[in-house]
Structure 1
């Protein structure tokens, strides 16, 4: 058992970050091997725009559960690469509607088979280890638990219970 495994929940965030960074590096390597100039961090925008002709930055932000500035920054990056464009919404001049450019649609056509291969490869990983099969349901359950009562609130409650127990001893 390594240090991270031995520390359990104290390093959960670090382990998840390491896992995420390693996973995204492997995905980016797969795109690179296929000669596709695509970054895994662009996936949420490309996926949503593959399912919708156009979306506002606010809608992209809401669907991906990132801040409006973070979504806006990603869109600016993709605009600079000429993969998306935005135009003022006809109904509401304050909204910018984002859509894939022709280059963005060409790139989407190249990456769709990679997405299918990612799903198949991850199915292989999961099929070979029963414990791995609980990963996504476990993450969903943890996300829901954190939404119902924040972790910081739970920690404060534990600290307060400990302080009360000490004062009664």
Structure 2
């Protein structure tokens, strides 16, 4: 890749995604050829959906399910038909539409392809994990965000100087942690902090960072909108704690951003589990935790359970 493209940074994001995509397609075609299989990598999504569908599919249904444009789907279907892998018939109730199914040749090829796809998937995992161990979740978040908030619409409202960034702890951020955590926690505990809180609230660097953990801050310019601590429990497990959001900044997805950073950092450190402890007074937070994949569990022996804790949850980080 030329230096000019690299230096463009985020502006060349689509170009670099396409470059990676084309390399994967080219290598995929080579793998099929080396295994004496007459198949193209660009056919995979359409072919797989048809092969695993219980009923015939239309171009519209394939487009909606895969997320490709109609013209892309039509081109792939045309190539599959040319190679005798699909059958196209007039829709029984809508003459403007057509039903698409795998042919007998396509079904036989599907059985052959599955033997190649398993090692292919393992190889792709090793490749993508070299970029980041949480790569698939990162891609999922990008995909969902683009679908929910298209870039052309986002450009109309975004204030580039006021984007929310999740940053790691540094000494100048210490007061943000205290100012966010202490008032809320004191209110919950009627002004009396537990022994662990008395130390962690005022010394997040010593309590978390110096013990192999992390503290993150959601910053909008110089304003701190939220914070969370990632406490190391042992070599392979972490606990996220002290997740607090500025009341005026709720409903902005900040808690989600902070939890996602905790999960990514755990995976970067090859952790196997991420724990949390909470109270029953936070049902909305519980919904968010379940959405991420946390499940209820008894506390592990390495966790210091707080007196106020009424619920223990864990996320398995092993794919």
What TM-score do you get using the length of structure 1 for normalisation? 0.81
How has the CA–CA distance of structure 1 residues 123 and 65 changed in structure 2, closer, same or farther, with 3 Å as cutoff? Answer: closer
Partners of 2:148 and 2:78 in 1: how far apart? 34
Which has more helix, going by share of residues? 1
Could you say which residue in structure 2 is the equivalent of 1:165?
Answer: none
How has the CA–CA distance of structure 1 residues 56 and 81 changed in structure 2, closer, same or farther, with 3 Å as cutoff? Answer: same
Which has more strand, going by share of residues? 2
Helix, strand or coil: the match of 2:95?
coil
Q: Deviations over 1:141-165 (max 9, x none)?
A: 122222332222333435898xxxx
Deviation at 1:50, TM superposition (A): 1.4
Q: Deviations over 1:45-88 (max 9, x none)?
A: 21011111421222112112223233222212211111111112
Could you say which residue in structure 2 is the equivalent of 1:107?
Answer: 109
Partners of 1:133 and 1:81 in 2: how far apart? 38
Helix, strand or coil: the match of 1:69?
helix
How has the CA–CA distance of structure 1 residues 19 and 75 changed in structure 2, closer, same or farther, with 3 Å as cutoff? Answer: same
Unaligned runs of 5+ in 1: 162-169
How many pairs are equivalent?
159
Helix, strand or coil: the match of 1:87?
strand
Deviation at 1:44, TM superposition (A): 1.1
Helix, strand or coil: the match of 1:55?
coil
Could you say which residue in structure 2 is the equivalent of 1:89?
Answer: 91
Q: Deviations over 1:65-116 (max 9, x none)?
A: 2232332222122111111111123343333111111211222122111111
Partners of 1:160 and 1:38 in 2: how far apart? 45
How has the CA–CA distance of structure 1 residues 126 and 69 changed in structure 2, closer, same or farther, with 3 Å as cutoff? Answer: closer
1:9-88 equivalences in 2 (<5 Å): 9-53=10-54, 54-88=56-90
Greater relative contact order (Cα 8 A, min sep 6): structure 1 or 2?
1
Is 1:154 aligned with 2:143?
Answer: no
Unaligned runs of 5+ in 2: 162-319
Structure (1 or 2) with the larger CA radius of gyration: 2
How has the CA–CA distance of structure 1 residues 16 and 87 changed in structure 2, closer, same or farther, with 3 Å as cutoff? Answer: same
Partners of 1:24 and 1:150 in 2: how far apart? 26
Q: Deviations over 1:119-141 (max 9, x none)?
A: 121233355x3x42222211221
Partners of 2:146 and 2:94 in 1: how far apart? 35
Q: 87-96 vs 138-147, which deviates more?
A: 87-96
RMSD (Å) for aligned C-alpha atoms: 2.5
How has the CA–CA distance of structure 1 residues 109 and 16 changed in structure 2, closer, same or farther, with 3 Å as cutoff? Answer: same
